[in-house]
Amino acid sequence: MAAKKLDRFDVVIIGGGVVGLAVAYQLSKSPAFVGKSIVILEREKGFGMQTSSRNSEVIHAGIYYDAQSLKAELCLHGRELLYDYCRRFEIPHSRIGKLIVAQSGQDTALEALEEKARTNGVTNLRMIDRALLTRIEPAVAASSALFSPSTGIIDSHSYMRSLLDNAERHGVIFSHSTSVESVMPEERGFLLSTIVDDGRVRQLYALRANTLINCAGLDAQHLATMVIEEYTSAADDQNLSEIFGVPEQVLSKGSYFDYTGANPFSHLIYPLPDSGHDALGIHATIDLSGALRFGPDAEWCENIDYSVDPSKAALFAKSVQQYFPALDPAKLKPGYSGIRTKLKTAAGAPSDFIIRSEKASGLPGLVNLFGIESPGLTSSLAIAERVESLLAETT
């Protein structure tokens, strides 16, 4: 009996978070991919159930990132693409604006942040003194603030739903509850073995891909290593990260607390960033319903655990009361948490995105995305354009 012929797809995207969905949408409408078969493999029961749904839902302006970094470039470009997408497809959002506040003795640091932002191309920031800050945000205690009018908030679920709907209209297939067990490079493309398990039926499914895009987020390093281990016998005795550049990642957990008291703010309120943890500090975020929450904090972790420790409320209160002294600690309630994948760097150095074709490593057709954390949501459409351009260079 002849062996069963396996399904072959032109493009397989692994990961149905916001970046994987944006890539699928971008390729599905690209003239270069008209008529091409594209499938998204997502191990969860739905889209965006990990990092993409566990963040502040902020559209970032591009203030914090190092000049010449991918984060700076793609955040600025992605911000405008995202606002345009929201307008065209009626995604709930609001350009609410953000205040980065400085306490006594921090004014020089705030000025340095403004200069860094200007270097990145963010030129519409405005310094606000204590008197004006008191008028526009009476509940905020600070000596000065930096106002960012380009910062906004978004309904990330509606955005991801729209990306998937638009991609599916162009023929993209979304395969949820599908975990990738192995990936074997072949002479032309890749052979994938998966398990499809929707809770009722569990079955093995093998398929072939001409192009493989690794948007696996927290699992991106594991997936890339899986491919490499199948590709080279050198994996037995050499450091894979040195051979193929699979960067080491570290995980950072951030928790949020909901505030059950009245929301006194009309803008997002941020302290100066925590440079020691490559984090933005415990900030005040408003969702589109007007509800207030605080977070995230940042702690290194080794395991995926989304529980929120209620005992952290006291630490949150102490931090937030520096700029919101009227906060009532009793009204802080555990909300949710998220886990970021950060690329391991030299001490004190910020991590950046890595978006890379592996053609030079002998694996044409493979694109790896590593370290896609904040501002990944804001940058998602710009990241998708970058992936499209890499594929154009390898075809």
Largest CA distance in the chain: 83
Quote the tokens at residue 30: 């690209």
Q: Say whether 232 sits in a helix, a strand or coil.
A: coil
pLDDT of residue 277: 47
pLDDT of residue 4: 65
Question: What's the CA gap between 58 and 378, in Å, rounded?
Answer: 8
DSSP letter at 64 equals: S
Question: What's the CA gap between 295 and 336, in Å, rounded?
Answer: 10
**Which of 100, 85, 121 has the alpha carbon at shortest distance from 378?**
85
CB-neighbour burial class of residue 253 (10 A; exposed 0-12, middle 13-18, buried 19+): buried
pLDDT of residue 2: 46
pLDDT of residue 276: 54
Residues of CATH 3.30.9.10 domain(s) within the chain?
98-149+250-343
CATH of domain 7-53+158-248+350-394: 3.50.50.60
pLDDT of residue 140: 98
Residue with tokens 């895009």: 213
336-364 CB burial, b ≥16 within 10 A, e <16: bbbbbbbbeeeeeeebbbbbbbbeebebb
pLDDT of residue 1: 41
Residues of CATH 3.50.50.60 domain(s) within the chain?
7-53+158-248+350-394
Q: Say whether 261 sits in a helix, a strand or coil.
A: coil
Question: What's the CA gap between 214 and 47, in Å, rounded?
Answer: 15
Using DSSP bridges, classify how beta strands 38-41 and 189-197 pair: parallel, antiparallel or unpaired: unpaired
Other CB atoms within 10 Å distance of the CB of residue 117: 23
Angle at 102 between CA 101 and CA 105, to 5 degrees: 175
pLDDT of residue 5: 78
Q: Which CATH number fits domain 98-149+250-343: 3.40.47.10, 3.30.9.10, 3.30.830.10, 3.40.50.1980?
A: 3.30.9.10
Please give the model's pTM, rounded to 2 decimal places.
Answer: 0.95
pLDDT of residue 234: 40
Low-confidence ranges of the chain (pLDDT < 70): 1-4, 232-244, 275-278, 347-348, 394-395
